């Protein structure tokens, strides 16, 4: 349940609708509440608060009409600035980065406060009757509208400042890096208990020859794999589930998401339950998919290395943050892929990405577009040299060494500068010595 709540929270976070709609509802409730309080109390009648008195209903309606007209005008301007910022971000940094702007709480609250102030003013105007008893009070409701207008002005200044900050590439990469490390902390915690599962080589597991494929049911990206639900499902039907996909993978509607070993008689219910626990959608998400944030940084680096942009320093920043994330993964224990029940019987096998998979996802596209740039390759190898010092497991060392050797071969083909080649060869020798000692 917790995983589904987190998934729902992420969906709501990446929507412009949630926060403004909530603030509009609150504004309607606030307007109704303050009108009731105005009917029960007269705050201007207290000593020292006579300045709160509104002369007549016409004055109250005129003031609220001015607030409503001005806030809806500014709201249109805010929407226009937001659209321009999204367009610039999509063109310069790639369409994947637009999600980070959409989920920015500051932008959502800025849009919401203007719309909420506008709706509050409209609802309050509707409740003020010019032909009613002139002794009725409107003080609290009207002054609350004035206060909301002042808050809106403050948010306008803050919104412009926030947009100017968020479109800077250093801040964009910083936010993506924070999201990457949050994903690493979730999927690669500092310790695992035996009760949470163990790490085994799938090829060495004797699962038997009787198995049935689990169809995907629909096409899309794997967004969420609910491991506790899958384990409980396997225990219920007394079988072993092997999930062959991972979060972020694209599965066709005729594809397979896993296998059932020791299949039970109630296969239809088991398949339906498994499809429900492996949630799919039209776009990848960041909750369980570390590669999602990795690809965002990789896309920015690739665009920075393109001849049209030619901004190698942005590519350096992306490589540094990617290597930092990979180093964090190297320092964490490998996540378990085998989960047993209380009796020790294997119930669930999941597909976990290895360090080599993450290394390929991080640097393959970047190397493809930057391997002819000697200075960039030197910076990349210097970063990989730092990464090699964090390699402790044998498989991780072998994967990194093979990647570096492949990069060296590409450099010999695409780089013409002898000076760059000599420095690249020297760095590769250092990395090799570090990984083989």
pLDDT tens by residue, the chain, 437 residues: 555 566 566 666 667 788 889 999 999 999 989 888 877 766 555 544 555 556 677 878 888 899 999 999 988 888 888 788 778 777 777 777 777 777 788 888 888 999 999 999 999 988 776 545 555 667 788 888 999 999 999 999 998 888 888 888 888 888 889 989 988 988 888 877 655 678 877 767 777 777 899 999 888 999 889 998 999 999 999 889 999 999 989 999 999 999 999 888 888 899 999 999 998 888 888 878 889 989 999 999 999 998 887 888 999 999 999 999 999 999 999 888 889 888 888 889 998 888 999 999 999 999 999 888 889 999 999 999 999 998 888 889 999 999 999 999 989 889 888 898 999 999 999 999 999 87
The 3-class secondary structure across 212-268, one letter per residue, is: EEEECCCCEEEEEECHHHHHHHHHHCCCEEEECCCCCCEECCCCEEEEEECCCCCHH
Question: What are the residues facing 252 on neighbouring strands?
Answer: none
Helices (H), 278-417: 290-305, 312-330, 355-370, 374-388, 394-414
Judge contact between 159 and 107, C-beta under 8 A.
yes
C-alpha span between 47 and 67 (Å, rounded): 28
What's the CA dihedral at 50, 55, 61, 67 to 10 degrees?
-50
Q: What is the pTM of this model?
A: 0.80
C-alpha to C-alpha distances, 364 to 175, 255, 343, 359, 421, nearest whole angstrom: 22, 26, 43, 8, 20
- Secondary structure of residue 435 in the 3-state scheme: helix
What is the end-to-end Cα distance of the chain in Å, rounded? 46
Tell me the two tokens of residue 211: 């198995």
Domain 200-281 class in CATH: alpha beta
DSSP per residue, 41-74: --GGGSTT-GGG----HHHHHHHHHHHHHHHHHH
Tell me the two tokens of residue 425: 């060869």
C-alpha span between 7 and 88 (Å, rounded): 28
Domain boundaries, the chain: 2-167, 200-281, 288-334+354-436
Judge contact between 354 and 403, C-beta under 8 A.
no
Judge contact between 291 and 364, C-beta under 8 A.
no
């Amino acid at each position: 349940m917790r995983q589904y709540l987190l998934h729902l929270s992420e969906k709501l976070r990446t929507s412009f609708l949630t926060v403004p709609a909530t603030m509009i509802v609150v504004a309607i409730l606030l307007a109704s509440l303050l009108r009731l309080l105005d009917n029960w109390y007269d705050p201007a009648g207290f000593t020292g608060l006579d300045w709160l008195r509104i002369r007549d209903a016409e004055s109250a309606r005129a003031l609220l009409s001015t607030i409503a007209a001005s806030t809806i005008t500014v709201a249109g301007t805010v929407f226009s600035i937001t659209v321009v910022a999204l367009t610039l971000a999509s063109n310069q940094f790639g369409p994947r980065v637009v999600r980070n702007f959409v989920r920015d709480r500051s932008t959502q609250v800025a849009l919401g406060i203007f719309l909420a102030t506008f709706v509050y003013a409209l609802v309050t105007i509707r409740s003020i009757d010019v032909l009613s008893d002139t002794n009725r009070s409107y003080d609290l409701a009207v002054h609350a509208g004035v206060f909301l207008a002042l808050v809106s002005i403050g948010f306008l200044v803050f919104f412009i400042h926030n947009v100017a900050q968020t479109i800077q590439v250093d801040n964009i990469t910083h936010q993506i890096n924070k999201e990457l490390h949050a994903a690493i902390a979730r999927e690669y915690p500092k310790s695992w208990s035996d009760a949470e599962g163990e790490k085994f080589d799938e090829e060495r597991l004797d699962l038997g020859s009787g198995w049935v494929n689990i169809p995907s049911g629909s096409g899309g990206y794997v967004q969420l794999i609910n491991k506790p639900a899958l384990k409980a499902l396997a225990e219920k039907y007394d079988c072993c589930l092997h999930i062959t996909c991972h979060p972020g993978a694209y599965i066709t509607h005729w594809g397979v998401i896993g296998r059932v070993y020791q299949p039970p008689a109630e296969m239809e219910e088991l398949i339906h339950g498994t499809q429900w626990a492996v949630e799919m959608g039209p776009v990848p998400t960041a909750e369980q998919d570390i590669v999602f944030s990795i690809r965002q940084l990789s896309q920015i680096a690739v665009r920075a290395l393109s001849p049209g942009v030619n901004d190698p320093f942005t590519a350096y920043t992306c490589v540094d943050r990617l290597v930092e994330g990979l180093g964090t993964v190297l320092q964490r224990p490998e996540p378990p892929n085998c989960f047993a029940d209380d009796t020790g019987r294997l119930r669930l096998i999941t597909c976990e990405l290895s360090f080599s998979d993450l290394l390929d996802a991080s640097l393959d596209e970047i190397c493809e577009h930057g391997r002819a740039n000697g200075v960039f390759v030197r910076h990349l190898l210097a970063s990989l040299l730092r990464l090699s010092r964090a390699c402790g497991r044998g498989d991780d060392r072998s994967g990194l060494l093979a990647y570096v050797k492949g990069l060296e071969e590409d450099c010999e083909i695409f780089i013409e500068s002898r000076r760059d080649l000599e420095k690249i060869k020297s760095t590769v020798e250092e990395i090799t010595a570090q990984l083989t000692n």
